[in-house]
Amino acid sequence: MTGSEQAVAVAHPNIALIKYWGKRDERLVLPCSDSLSMTLDVFPTTTSVRLDPAADADTVVMDGLPARGEPLRRMTTFLDLVRERARRHERAVVDTRNTVPVGAGLASSASGFAALALAAAGAYGLTRDPLALSRLARRGSGSAARSLFGGFVVWHAGAVDARDPDHASYAEPVTDARLDAALVVVVLEAGPKSVSSREAMRRTVATSPLHPAWVTASRADLVRMRAALRAGDLGAVGRIAEHNALGMHATMEAATPPVRYRTDASAAALDAVRGLRADGVGAWATMDAGPNVKVLCDLADADRVAERMRTVRGSRVVVARRGPGAVLRTEAA
Ligand code: DP6
């Protein structure tokens, strides 16, 4: 199969309700445990990939500026994998635009590598199978495997003794979820984080005595989460998600040296969420590799939750709903 030489893809970030925190295989990006997320309808990434037979290196423009250093290296390594699979040699011209601050724990690598995987697969003429694309996106950034799909999505870690571990680890939609919820995104700091999630994860697995216990607990959380989604029980979904996220942060704070993403502003936001609950509003927090807080609540309560979260000093609040999976926008040759 030949590629269409150029493709543009759009993907949205996802926020994990059961977190991915720790790899059992760095090269293949195989996680220690399954995770489960909700794809958002805000902050899309749009990425175009065009093959340039005359070029001797990939060119990547990120939000209007040439990418260099680690971000460029990660994208080039990813494109090498796509080329190897497509048995093609042309270098690519990549243009990627985020609408979310990069590196602030707002899942830009998830939407970024999901869009890149889809656009690169389109341009180089690789697979269109969504599960295969999720495996491919996973190699760029683990959480990107989940952004291929809309709504609630589960990413299977795959059996440790699987004959083909790369094949065994993919994401797919949770088709029996009976829940429509809002995630109120509370941006507290939009700058890049001090420690990348990749490094923080590595350090946690290597040094945190709490990590094995969290992985065990997380597996049980996932089973309970799937049942709560099936039952449409927002309270249970929220409680499990908050517990899972706070446990993840505890594991990394117990690493050597500790990784601490929570700031005073995060603590104030978590207090505001507790305050909402004390007032009888169903609201539960989750946090990723950064200080920002996301609040899960009923769609009907989203405005009230957003209003309260805006009282946290320095916050910028965006209400997100369930968003769509990644799509190929154009494929003009
Ligand atoms: C805290 O997917 O960014 O957001 O695979 O190393 O690129 P790499 O990590 P990444 O980690 C995301 C971690 C998280 C939790 C989650 O999204 O499940």
pLDDT by residue for the chain (333 residues), tens only, comes to 455 699 999 999 999 999 999 999 999 999 999 999 999 999 999 999 999 999 999 999 999 999 999 999 999 999 999 999 999 999 999 999 998 765 555 667 999 999 999 999 999 999 889 999 999 999 999 999 999 999 999 999 999 999 999 999 999 999 999 999 999 999 997 666 679 899 999 999 999 999 999 999 999 999 999 999 999 999 999 999 999 999 999 999 999 999 999 999 999 999 999 999 999 999 999 999 999 999 999 999 999 999 999 999 999 999 999 999 999 996 444
What's the CA angle centered on 237, arms 235 and 238, to 5 degrees? 65
The pick from 197, 198, 292, 293 for probing ligand 1's pocket by mutation, whose C-beta has the most ligand atoms within 8 angstroms, reads: 197
| Cα–Cα distance for residue pair 157/25, rounded to 1 Å | 11
What's the CA angle centered on 126, arms 197 and 174, to 5 degrees? 55
CA 106 to centroid of ligand 1, rounded, Å = 10
Q: Which residues, judged by CB distance below 6 Å to any ligand atom, belong to the binding site of ligand 1?
A: 16, 19-21, 29, 35, 109, 141-143, 197-198, 201, 288-289
Domains detected in the chain: 6-175 (3.30.230.10), 181-320 (3.30.70.890)
Q: What is the pLDDT of residue 270?
A: 98
200 phi/psi in degrees, rounded to 5: -65, -40
Nearest to 249 by CA among 193, 278, 296, 290: 290
The pick from 14, 18, 20, 196 for probing ligand 1's pocket by mutation, whose C-beta has the most ligand atoms within 8 angstroms, reads: 20
CB 35 within 8 A of CB 146: yes
> Which ligand 1 atom is at minimum distance from the Cα of 155?
18
186 phi/psi in degrees, rounded to 5: -110, 100
Nearest residue (CA) to ligand 1, atom 4: 288
| Cα–Cα distance for residue pair 93/318, rounded to 1 Å | 32
| Cα–Cα distance for residue pair 296/105, rounded to 1 Å | 17
Six-digit token string for 70: 């680690």
> Which ligand 1 atom is at minimum distance from the Cα of 20?
18
Is-cis flag, bond preceding 257, omega within 30? yes
> Which ligand 1 atom is at minimum distance from the Cα of 29?
5
Nearest residue (CA) to ligand 1, atom 14: 288
Residues near 67 by beta carbon (within 8 Å), at least 6 away in sequence: 60, 61, 75
3-state secondary structure of 152: strand
Q: What is the pLDDT of residue 333?
A: 41
Total-model pTM? 0.95
Nearest to 45 by CA among 123, 110, 94: 110
Say how far residue 50 (Cα) sits from the centre of its chain: 25
CA atoms within 13 A on the CB side of 184: 28
| Cα–Cα distance for residue pair 326/116, rounded to 1 Å | 10
CA 128 to centroid of ligand 1, rounded, Å = 24
| Cα–Cα distance for residue pair 194/34, rounded to 1 Å | 26
Nearest residue (CA) to ligand 1, atom 1: 288
Q: Specify the DSSP element, H or E, that contains 169.
A: none
Q: What is the pLDDT of residue 246?
A: 98
> Which ligand 1 atom is at minimum distance from the Cα of 198?
6
Q: Report the relative pairing of strands 91-98 and 45-52 from DSSP bridges.
A: antiparallel
